[in-house]
Amino acid sequence: MATALIAVDTLLFTMVVPALPEFAERDGLSDAQAALIFAAFPIAQLLTALATAGLVERLGRRPLIIAATVLLTLATLLFAVTEGGAMLTVARGAQGVAAGAAWTAGIAAISDVFPTRDLGLRIGLAQTAGGGFGLLGPIVGGVLIDLVGTDATFLMAAALPALLVVPALLVPETRRPGAVPTRVFVGIRAVMSRRRARAAAGALAAVSGALALIEPLVPLDLEDRLGLSASAIGVVFAASLLGNMVAAPLAGRWSDRSGRVAPVAVGGAVLAASLPLLAIGPAAWVTCALFVMGLGFGTMGASSGPVLTEAVDEAGLAGNYGLSAAILTVVYSAGYAVGPLVGAAAAATMPFLGAMIAGAVLVGATAAWATAGLRATSGDGPVAPGAGALAAGPRGPAPPR
């Protein structure tokens, strides 16, 4: 259920990508204004992740999964009835609230039930499910927008999270019995005091920042420079999600077996190198560049996320995986919030190619710093074959207390 919710959440927030030129034209939005509207999602997601970090430990994963499903349905309906920049910002922010609850509770549930030796793979599979459905978002959204318009498209899309409400009500609780919840900011400080955790957080922020940088700017460039329709924009942009879907489980397993350093370094290099390629060439070239970019952020994201869960145990907080899930969501949201702000500033001051080059420099520098931080710390090697689950669950016993 957690993976399904993450998948549907990703599909719905990527459906907005091909709709952005339609909203911009309808409401008279500039490129900078459109980028700022996109920033409402990660800001709301970040604040929600902080708020739910404690709730997911005290109330459990199940109540937050149920709430996220209902909120996602309502947020999608908002896009069908809103008009004007202010209301679009509210709708995008509501999506962020739903996503913050979904990812925090969902990743915590996954961390509860799978062993360390499989954690990179399992988080990678959740990202793959998100990437697979997210791959459909721009394509289906673009086609439907061309056929029936934006309002009808989002009205129909709201049926998807609505169908998950009943399964969410039936999902079992996975929170570790007997785990003592810690205060959120005390726990976050303990986890983030570890250099490995800080390095992983930097890598995740680079991934989400790069994605958020291109989401508002690439569709507008494809329309302005190449004259593509909403459906064509959706197909081109979906290539990035296809790359992520291919790379995430493979990189997760690679990092489980061989350590997190090499996948983070390789993913960061690929991601940085691909960004400037998005601003040149015909649609086919941009499609290939987006696919390569997806390979980069799938590799970097799937290999750095498990480090935060491991850091919870290393900080003596075994069982409090709502903390690692919240940190992952907060860091991802922070990068996702900075990306549109950088994009808005870049759109107002430089051409699209300049913005992509600036983004590549930032991503490359962050990836190099994160790689150095992971390499300098101990314990970054293959997980022993007999390693048990991080918490009590169907895959193994709880660690000694």
DSSP 144-170: HHHHH-HHHHHHHHTHHHHHTHHHHHH
HEC per residue, 77-127:
HHHHHCCCHHHHHHHHHHHHHHHHHHHHHHHHHHHHHCEHHHHHHHHHHHH
Q: Is residue 82 part of a domain?
A: yes
Q: Which domain holds residue 343?
A: 2-172+183-375
Count the neighbouring beta carbons within 10 Å of the beta carbon of residue 136: 17
pLDDT at 160: 87
Whether the CB-CB separation of 32 and 85 falls below 8 Å is answered with: no
309 vs 289: CA distance, rounded Å? 32
pLDDT at 134: 63
Quote the DSSP letter at residue 329: H
pLDDT at 234: 78
pLDDT at 392: 40
Count the neighbouring beta carbons within 10 Å of the beta carbon of residue 81: 11
Q: Is residue 384 part of a domain?
A: no
Structure tokens at 5: 């919710």
Count the neighbouring beta carbons within 10 Å of the beta carbon of residue 80: 17
pLDDT at 396: 36
pLDDT at 80: 86
pLDDT at 247: 87
Q: For the chain, what is the domain count?
A: 1
Q: Is residue 382 part of a domain?
A: no
Q: What is the per-residue DSSP string for 354-377?
A: HHHHHHHHHHHHHHHHHHHHHHTS
Phi and psi torsions of 368, nearest 5°: -65, -40
User: Is 0.75 surpassed by the pTM of this model?
Assistant: no
pLDDT at 274: 94
pLDDT at 265: 93
Q: Is residue 383 part of a domain?
A: no
Q: Is residue 62 part of a domain?
A: yes
Distances (CA, A) of 388 to 177, 257, 384, 398: 17, 15, 9, 7
| Below-50 pLDDT ranges, the chain | 379-401
Q: Is 18 exposed, middle or buried (0-12, 13-18, 19+ CB in 10 A)?
A: buried
Contacts of 5 (CB under 8 A, 6+ apart): 65, 68, 69, 72, 102, 106, 164, 168
302 vs 251: CA distance, rounded Å? 6
Q: Is residue 391 part of a domain?
A: no
| Residue 76, CB-side half-sphere exposure with 13 Å CA sphere | 28
Q: Is residue 264 part of a domain?
A: yes
Torsion of CA 391, 397, 399, 401, to 10 degrees: 100
pLDDT at 26: 81
Q: Is residue 389 part of a domain?
A: no
Q: Is 272 helix (H, G, I), strand (E, B) or coil?
A: helix
Could you tell me the CATH number of the domain that includes residue 79?
1.20.1250.20
379 vs 358: CA distance, rounded Å? 34
pLDDT at 240: 83
